[in-house]
Amino acid sequence: MDMRAVVGSARVKVERKVGETVASVSRRVSGDPDETPPKTLFVMAHARSGSTLVTHLLGAHKDILSVGEHHVSYSKGSDLRRLRDRSAFMASDLKARPDYVVDKIVYNEHTISDELLHDPSVRFLFLLRRPEGTLPSVGKMFGQADITRQLAYYRRRLDELVSIAKKVGDPTRSAFMTYEQITGQPDETLSYLTDFLDLDSPLNKDYDVSRTTGRQAWGDPSERIFSGTIDLRRGDAEPLPVDVAVEAEAIHAFALFELAKQSATNPLVGGS
């Protein structure tokens, strides 16, 4: 494993625990109630799908608290309160009272209990990217040259996303969009997401960088995330071996169909 990833993951764990403690103590001292957390939005995605960009776009809205990837599982309501606490700490705003707090989940080992999957205060945004843009990028991130391992991760993760969407089983709490929509039709895609979240002002293409932007283990560490806006340029996708491309496209097509079926109607899906 890349030593930078090990160190980064350890740092996230320390910051997470410090954030939970500091924010919780701050609320108790100030006399603020602790029983009712804001709504939670989970960005359910796979690696290299644009999920870091999405969490930045969400975090730019005044009613949303989103600081990156927390690398934890969720089993009960107190876990959602801890998400709020550590997010407020990382945002340097212990008095934050957002409508939504966001975490993104891109690996199967980070789970959400059935209890929270059916919690009316929890919403889900499912995000996909086409395989020709995803698999080579996943390989570079993990330092893997074996395309079959990248394909295996893609298959397992997309299967899990479909399974979760079916368990949620509520289009009023599930949205779905693609990386290609975000970069190709950003205005329409963000309008769809604004409506889904019932926000009183629109999401837009620009965002501020934060103390977690580009930091290992909090999300995408590449320079591109520092642009502060959606990069509309599309790089040339690297060609996949024919057998891999055929299988990956079938995996993507199935997940695209199932996630769209389980989610609030996205008028752009047909053109994804």
Which pLDDT value is given to residue 29? 45
Half-sphere exposure of 138 (CA within 13 A, CB side): 25
C-alpha to C-alpha distance for 203 and 125, rounded to whole angstroms: 15
Grouping H, G, I as helix, E, B as strand and the rest as coil, residue 229 is strand
Cα dist from 33 to 16, 30, 213, 261, whole Å: 21, 9, 30, 39
Beta strands in 76-116 (DSSP E): 100-105
Q: Is the pTM of this model over 0.75?
A: yes
Burial of 38 (0-12, 13-18, 19+ CB in 10 A): buried
Which pLDDT value is given to residue 7? 40
Asked if 58 contacts 201 with a C-beta cutoff of 8 angstroms, the reply is no
- Per-domain residue ranges of the chain: 35-75+96-267
- What's the alpha-carbon Rg for the chain, to the nearest Å? 18
Query: Each residue's pLDDT tens digit in the chain (272 positions)?
Result: 343 444 445 566 666 655 555 556 555 545 565 556 799 999 999 998 999 999 999 999 999 999 989 999 999 998 998 899 889 888 888 778 899 999 999 999 999 999 999 999 999 999 999 999 899 878 776 666 688 889 999 999 999 999 999 999 999 999 999 999 999 999 999 999 999 999 999 999 998 877 566 555 556 666 677 778 887 766 556 788 999 999 999 999 999 999 999 999 988 875 44
Which pLDDT value is given to residue 86? 87
Tell me, what DSSP letter sits at residue 103?
E
Which pLDDT value is given to residue 53? 94
Nearest Cα to 124, choosing from 214, 207, 51, 206? 51
**35-75+96-267 classified as CATH 2.40.110.10:** no
